[in-house]
Amino acid sequence: MKIKKGDNVIIIGGKEKGKKGKVIKVFPQEQLIIVENINLKKKHQKPKTGGKKGEKIETPRPISVSSVMLICKNCGKPVRTGYKILNGPPDGEASKKIRICKKCGLEV
């Protein structure tokens, strides 16, 4: 999955289309992510002690990865991402795989 925790994304489909937010949590097996202040659902919580009232809590729910696009840090636009493998030093150490912006070609 090309979207990671902490990335800024824009919603490209559904009722929240056009909104931007930061990824809070990622579920790679289910191809779902949770974005802050997007897809909020109300949950009714019972009072925990006798004298207090119950309350309504809004919690963000997961959305599909296919309905979001990553926002490039350099361009500031929604972009597709690719991968580039940077070769390590010649003494045989591991090479590094980075995500790149398909528009500007720089690291995301």
pLDDT digits (tens, 9 = 90+) for 64-108: 999 999 999 999 999 999 999 988 777 767 888 999 999 999 998
Give the pTM. 0.84
CB distance 58 to 42 below 8 Å: yes
- How far apart CA 77 and CA 23 sit, in angstroms, is 16
3-state secondary structure of 65: helix
The label of the residue with tokens 């997961």 reads: 62
Mean pLDDT of 29-50: 94
What's the CA gap between 71 and 41, in Å, rounded?
25
Topology of domain 1-71 in CATH is: SH3 type barrels. (2.30.30)
Query: What ranges do the domains of the chain cover?
Result: 1-71, 74-108
Q: What is the dihedral of CA 49, 52, 56, 59, to 10 degrees?
A: -50
